[in-house]
């Protein structure tokens, strides 16, 4: 397949040579390297780019002892330094800081497959010195822009079962094999290396438990008992999985209505294919009893890919089990959405919600209108 343009490319291009480093976060195999190489294709041909990969031992050795003189010599004759898998390089934040402060004629672009060491290692030294971007598996709108909305809608079942990782989209015939390899260990490589997870079996059991509970509130204590680890370890693992862009959480919306669930949390996967690979189920939708929650996961994850920074996302539920699947809040404006696989299924907005959140818009998202929701 020809190259599929990513929605953040335009913003990355406009941020170059503005005196700040460009940091691209995202899961392994999400397409960061391919996207950046596409952005830099003319500069690569003209040999203006120094490309280094932090996964390479000799590259990490190269940065073991560094100072401005050595770094300037390293990039002599280059206009751009592209560091891939930058989280593997110790002191990467301080190294990039030297470039932004003292080697200003070189544009640094760094990508990281997890936000672990890269995020924690750059926040303090690069305060005010970086632009951050996040790349996820292909979004609905990215694929629709390439294929056309009608064609992408025809691929809905494929997306719900196999997801939208570039390798799967570009080689669907081997999609199941690719997903098993990615979800088997490659996606968590940084977690095992950087965080020294001593019992991967517990980590994998937690992943499976979360995959079976998407769309439901998670209870850390129950998960801990189920897996045989303590609650703090569950919290730590979930935090790591979020930082590695594998899962994300929705908090419960609460504005002190007496019956509202105040501390609830739901977990979703950024990609349905990864979720299905974890539980080992690639069956067609007709034979599945989880298509409703797959649909919910897909819609919410796709919407998260579109979300602007000033918008917060929630779900809402009361102790009487009144519920709204997904809410976006911007200041005091609430947009509420109920996600239904069956277009004929009716839903009545809770009076408790409508009375408390007066400034709200409500909509049911189903197979007949989801393309508009995921394109706006």
Domain boundary (111, 134, 157) is at 134
DSSP state of 83: E
**pLDDT of amino acid 100:** 96
Q: How far apart are CA 157 and CA 126, in angstroms?
A: 42
Confirm whether 3 is domain-assigned: no
| pLDDT value at 116 more than 60 | no
257 and 339 inside one domain: yes
pLDDT range class, residue 176, cuts 50, 70, 90:
very high
Q: How far apart are CA 139 and CA 375, in angstroms?
A: 10
Q: Is 282 helix (H, G, I), strand (E, B) or coil?
A: coil
204 and 330 inside one domain: yes
224 and 116 inside one domain: no
149 and 221 inside one domain: yes
101 and 197 inside one domain: no
DSSP string for 107-143: EEEEEESSSTHHHHHHTTTTTTSEEEEE--SPPHHHH
Alpha-helical runs (H) found in 213-311: 220-227, 231-243, 272-279, 291-306
For 295, other C-beta atoms within 10 Å of its C-beta total 23
Confirm whether 106 is domain-assigned: yes
Residues 6+ apart with CB under 8 A from 268: 214, 215, 247, 248, 249, 250, 296, 297, 300, 301
Burial class of 335 by CB neighbour count within 10 A (0 to 12, 13 to 18, 19+): middle
The helix (H) or strand (E) run that includes residue 66 is none
130 and 257 inside one domain: no
Confirm whether 334 is domain-assigned: yes
Can you give the C-alpha Rg of the chain in angstroms?
22
Confirm whether 1 is domain-assigned: no
Confirm whether 333 is domain-assigned: yes
pLDDT range class, residue 218, cuts 50, 70, 90:
very high
Of residues 179, 27, 195, the one with CA closest to residue 112: 27
Domain harbouring 56, CATH code: 3.40.50.300
**pLDDT of amino acid 290:** 95
Confirm whether 2 is domain-assigned: no
114 and 171 inside one domain: no
Domain boundary (91, 118, 134) is at 134
pLDDT range class, residue 212, cuts 50, 70, 90:
very high
- Read off the pLDDT of residues 121-168 as tens digits, 9 standing for 90 and up: 777 888 899 999 999 999 999 999 999 999 999 999 999 999 999 999
Containing domain of residue 30, as a range?
9-134
Confirm whether 47 is domain-assigned: yes
| Least confident span in 37-51, 106-120, 187-201, 272-286 | 187-201
129 and 151 inside one domain: no
126 and 145 inside one domain: no
| Least confident span in 154-163, 291-300, 334-343 | 334-343
Provide the domain count of the chain.
2
220 and 350 inside one domain: yes
Half-sphere exposure of 146 (CA within 13 A, CB side): 14
107 and 188 inside one domain: no
For 113, other C-beta atoms within 10 Å of its C-beta total 27
First and final C-alpha spacing in the chain = 26
Beta strands (DSSP E) in 38-166 are 49-53, 80-84, 107-112, 130-134
Confirm whether 4 is domain-assigned: no
365 and 323 inside one domain: yes
For 132, other C-beta atoms within 10 Å of its C-beta total 16
Domain boundary (71, 106, 134) is at 134
């Amino acid at each position: 397949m020809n190259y599929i343009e990513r929605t953040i490319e335009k913003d990355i291009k406009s941020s170059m040579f503005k005196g700040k480093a460009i940091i691209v976060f995202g899961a392994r195999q999400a397409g960061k390297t391919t996207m950046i190489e596409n952005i830099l294709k003319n500069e690569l041909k003209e040999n203006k780019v120094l490309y280094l990969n932090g996964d390479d031992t000799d590259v990490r050795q190269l940065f073991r002892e560094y100072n401005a003189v050595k770094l300037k010599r390293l990039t002599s004759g280059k206009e751009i330094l592209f560091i891939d898998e930058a989280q593997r390089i110790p002191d990467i934040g301080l190294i990039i800081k030297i470039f932004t402060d003292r080697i200003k004629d070189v544009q640094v672009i760094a990508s990281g497959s997890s936000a672990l060491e890269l995020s924690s290692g750059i926040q303090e030294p690069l305060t005010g010195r970086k632009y951050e971007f996040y790349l996820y598996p292909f979004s609905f709108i990215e694929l629709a822009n390439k294929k056309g909305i009608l064609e992408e809608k025809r691929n809905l079942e494929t997306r719900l079962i196999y997801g939208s990782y570039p390798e799967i989209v570009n080689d669907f015939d081997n999609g199941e094999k690719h997903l098993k390899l990615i979800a088997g260990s490659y996606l968590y490589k940084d977690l095992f290396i950087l965080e020294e997870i001593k019992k991967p079996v517990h980590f994998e059991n937690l992943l499976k438990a979360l995959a079976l509970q998407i769309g439901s509130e998670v209870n850390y204590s129950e998960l801990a008992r189920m897996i045989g680890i303590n609650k703090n370890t569950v919290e730590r693992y979930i935090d790591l999985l979020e930082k590695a862009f594998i899962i994300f959480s929705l908090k419960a919306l609460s504005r002190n209505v007496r019956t509202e669930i105040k501390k609830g949390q739901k977990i979703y996967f950024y990609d349905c294919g990864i979720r299905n690979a974890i539980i080992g189920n690639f069956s067609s939708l007709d034979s599945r009893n989880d298509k409703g929650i797959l649909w919910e996961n897909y819609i919410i994850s796709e919407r998260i890919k579109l979300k602007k920074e000033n918008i917060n996302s929630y779900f809402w539920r009361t102790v009487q089990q009144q519920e709204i699947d997904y809410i976006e809040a911007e200041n005091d404006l609430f947009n509420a959405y109920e996600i239904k696989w069956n277009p004929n299924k009716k839903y009545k907005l809770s009076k408790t919600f409508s009375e408390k959140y007066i400034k709200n818009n409500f909509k049911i998202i189903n197979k007949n209108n989801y393309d508009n929701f995921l394109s706006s």
